[in-house]
A and B are shown apart, each in its own frame.
Chain A
Amino acid sequence: MKLTLRIWRQHDPDAPGGMAAYDVEGISPDMSFLEMLDTLNERLTVEGQDPVAFDHDCREGICGACSLVINGEAHGPERTTSCQLHMRSFRDGDTIDVEPWRAAAFPVVRDLVVDRGAFDRIIQSGGYVSVPTGAAPEAHATPVPKAAADSAFEHAECIGCGACVAACPNGSAMLFTSAKVNHLGALPQGAPERETRVLDMVAQMDAEGFGGCTLTGECATACPKGIPLTSITAMNREWLRASRKVPRG
């Protein structure tokens, strides 16, 4: 395959950026999108140019590092991560636009790499359960109902990639935050922090400068892990419940 790529190039957070066009040849339809970028980078390196910086780690769709907006869609045309997207989803001769996640809370570090530290701070504010350390507890000491386990697992699938923020017209982080709140809230182990978790995580999310949710549903459409839009509704319910129970101040 022969393609024309238009890629966002930006040397550092404060430098002005812009789209730069590159022609790539010899692309196999079986390559992943990242392997296609590797091919380009090898050539750029040989030619003495700066390779395109992009985030990646596992390349098997489980770590959440890869983060490309491809032709205006977070993670591109298929419902998967950028690393699991294959070039057979494109046609020979296509022009493909590649941009970084765009959000005030995700500043560009370089080219296609953004700083997703805001997500880490949301997790730090309440995305944990307090467990006593020491000897491992007996496995059946805390029974988990099947429905709760299923719900927790569905939300635990979130890999924290940030595609939901990138896809949202408002740059809102509600889907990510709700996945975490619902994951831990569904389990008995998460019960002690049930109220403070949702209040603190939502407060941190707001403090990071993410936009407000208007239920456009773009996040759930883009999410490679299929976190449902109703996850946000469930978090709203938890937040209302918690704000009635915990006096604020």
Chain B
Amino acid sequence: MAVSGLVMLLYLVVHMYGNLKIFFGPGTFDGYAHWLRTLGEPFFHYEWALWIIRTGLVAAVVAHGVCAYQLSRRDIRSRPVGYVHRRARSSYATRTMRWGGVILALFIVWHILDLTTGTVQRGFVPGHPYHNVVAAFHDWWNNVIYIAAMLALGLHIRHGFWSAAQTLGAGSATRDRVLKGTANVLALLLTAGFIAVPVGVMTGLVS
């Protein structure tokens, strides 16, 4: 859970940073997308580096999902008879890890069909990501999907980052505030950074 989660987290930081280039216009953004495909040339062939990254990511997502499934099964089995007197336990971010994770998995599928393959987008033009992003966020409901998913992501990271640090034995009484703070900053930064793009398109800043 912890290692695969942190791999995805690292990817997300880079991904969010790259996305913000959209505010510098189609030239910068499409140029950046092109560079991603020529990364590592001439040592790598066209798109090789990208496929290596994609393979690593798929491995991380699958490992994370499989571990989450096994962990959840185990946790549910460990209490066959529940309490009659139920009360809300732990923080909202902690309680929503399971369903938040499922929402994020569904979002990842939607996101790839929307902006990588263009399967679910009418005006998709391969090789023109700037155009495709603007077209994608022309539909109000797609903005809702993305913004909801990013809020779920923020919550997942808020508990996930701190939790991963404990799993790896990196926490201590004196370091707890720093780790919790880092988790909150990462969650806020990623959520705000990602949401900036659909908001940019909606407000006409990006068109």
Binding site for B on A (CB under 8 A): 6, 8, 19, 69, 71-73, 97, 99, 102-105, 167, 169-172, 209-212, 214-218, 228-230, 232-234, 236-241
Contacts and interface: CB of A to CB of B under 8 A. Distances in A.
A104 to B, nearest CB: 5
Interface string B139-171: 000000000000000000001001101111111
A16 to B, nearest CB: 11
Given A171-B79, A211-B74, A237-B169, A72 B86 contact: yes
A169 B169 contact: no
Nearest to B174: A230
A240 B3 CA distance: 13
Interface string B83-100: 111110110001101000
A233 B94 contact: no
14 contacts: A72-B86, A102-B79, A104-B77, A167-B89, A211-B76, A211-B77, A214-B163, A215-B159, A216-B95, A217-B90, A228-B173, A230-B171, A230-B172, A237-B169
Given A71-B85, A72-B86, A169 B80 contact: no
Given A102-B79, A215-B163, A216-B95, 13 more contacts: A69-B83, A171-B75, A211-B74, A212-B74, A215-B94, A215-B162, A216-B89, A217-B94, A228-B173, A230-B166, A233-B165, A234-B172, A238-B169
A104 B168 contact: no
B14 interface: no
Nearest to B82: A102
Nearest to A105: B78
Contacts of A103: 78-79
Contacts of B84: 6, 8, 19, 97, 99
A243 B105 CA distance: 32
Shortest beta-carbon contacts, A-B, top 5? A237-B169, A211-B78, A171-B78, A170-B75, A97-B85
Contacts of B176: 230
Give chain B's interface residue range (CB within 8 Å of chain A): 20 to 34
B71 interface: yes
A209 B77 contact: yes
Given A169-B90, A233-B166, A209 B78 contact: yes
A211 B85 contact: no
Given A71-B85, A105-B78, A214-B71, A236 B173 contact: no
B71 to A, nearest CB: 5
Nearest to B79: A171
B81 interface: yes
Contacts of A6: 84
A230 B176 CA distance: 8
Given A72-B87, A99-B85, A103-B78, A214 B172 contact: no
A15 B163 CA distance: 39
A217 B86 CA distance: 17
A234 B166 CA distance: 8
A228 B83 CA distance: 25
A229 B173 CA distance: 9
Given A97-B85, A228-B173, A236-B168, A170 B163 contact: no
Contact of A214 (B75, B76, B85): B75
A72 B83 contact: yes
Contacts of A169: 75, 89-90
B78 A230 contact: no
A233 B75 contact: no
Given A210-B78, A234-B169, A73 B87 contact: yes
Contacts of A172: 75, 78
Contacts of B82: 102
Given A104-B77, A104-B79, A236-B167, A216 B87 contact: no
A30 B90 CA distance: 31
B168 A211 contact: no
A148 to B, nearest CB: 15
